[in-house]
Structure 1
């Protein structure tokens, strides 16, 4: 279990990337491939930059801008596409399997995504928002879209203006937290209670960094997340 009382590691404190670097953090996306795969399954078309460009460097800011849109079922599909393409990166592993399952559960998925988006923009606890997309056993409620995807969708659903409280989690972060705060970390299945503790830890470490005399600014929780991701 995650130790929420663990202190901020010094190596993380001294490697904070800054909020601008977080927003500019991008991945290469083959938008043309995404458009083709969506069309094969008669899924809603992409909008925005993934519609107009073939090869894209998709940044966190780009995805947050989708999260700032009006919360509708149509826009929930776009937030799903953008957060998933950012999370999967250039290799997009098993994309056809993922989209096949998404297409076969389209109506249910639409309701779940919109509910999760609304929860992310409310004052609900991380555990409750996460539970909309993930079962108590750590399985995705949308087949082939497990906890790692859920954390990214919720993270970007908060929009660019909010100080994020729902933070992205993946296997690299789990591994890199093992030495300080999560000795028994699992790398692929996280239950709602664990995600709640993880978000609390990231927020507390951000607060601790903000109060450090060597920093002299407000640190966002996703700065901590990115520093942990890049940890050697």
Structure 2
């Protein structure tokens, strides 16, 4: 799945006018609501609950900005589980089925240890190293935890990107892949994730090199390719 001029053209069409690009504050302020009971009623026995799931409120919210902050203090397996739940709560939002799918990896043997290992690599090594770690069962791959959600862990664990950080780990999920015009919308190999970052780097240079690359990911997620209307 090499980067092609067609991929760039499709993506640039989705991104739209550079003058109308959203600000990093808009991206980092993206906030999602989630329901803690959807986690607690399926919580694995013997695993400590994250502190925020012990609160009394039934509905909570979390922003990208807050997840960056949480990613700065992951030192133990318990921290890694809390970070995972916070990130997945943001990713799943109020979708009950998505939340159910996010609980499943926590029931797998060694999940807390693998989460900590993967987050540590994400916070200290390259984006491709982080992806490879979470995508390899001999390292930190966990059954039922696929790229759509572990790239969210990579992104937040690596901290806020700067405009100069053109290879910052970015979220890659089905909606982003569709916006890029890709036919493969899940299960990407590490090399394919690297090609995604190559494409974003090229888009960044052509579109808005003064903004961090997560503005591109955010805009791709929000948008869709324009419809092709045949001419009469």
The two structures have a TM-score, normalised by structure 1, of: 0.80
Task: For structure 2, list consecutive stretches of 5 or more residues without a partner in the other structure.
Answer: 225-232
- On the 8 A contact 2:108/2:142 being kept in 1, the answer is no
**How many residues are aligned here?**
213
Mean Cα displacement is larger for which, 157-166 or 186-195? 157-166
Which residue of structure 1 lines up, in the alignment, with residue 81 of structure 2?
Answer: 77
Which residue of structure 1 lines up, in the alignment, with residue 28 of structure 2?
Answer: 23
Which residue of structure 1 lines up, in the alignment, with residue 45 of structure 2?
Answer: 41
Q: CA deviation at 1:59?
A: 1.4
SS at 1:144 equivalent: coil
- The CA distance in 2 between the partners of 1:197 and 1:161, in whole Å, is 19
- Check 1:86–1:23 CA distance in 2 against 1; reply closer, same or farther (3 A cut): same
Q: CA deviation at 1:160?
A: 3.6
- On the 8 A contact 1:4/1:200 being kept in 2, the answer is no
- Check 1:98–1:231 CA distance in 2 against 1; reply closer, same or farther (3 A cut): closer
Which residue of structure 1 lines up, in the alignment, with residue 132 of structure 2?
Answer: 131
Mean Cα displacement is larger for which, 20-29 or 108-117? 108-117
- Check if 1:103 corresponds to 2:107: yes
Which residue of structure 2 lines up, in the alignment, with residue 227 of structure 1?
Answer: 219
SS at 2:51 equivalent: coil
The two structures have a TM-score, normalised by structure 2, of: 0.80
- On the 8 A contact 2:68/2:160 being kept in 1, the answer is yes
Query: 1:90-133 CA deviation, whole Å, 9 max, x = no partner?
Result: 1131644653452232xx22222222212212242x22211111
SS at 1:130 equivalent: helix
Task: For structure 1, list consecutive stretches of 5 or more residues without a partner in the other structure.
Answer: 212-217
Q: CA deviation at 1:81?
A: 0.6
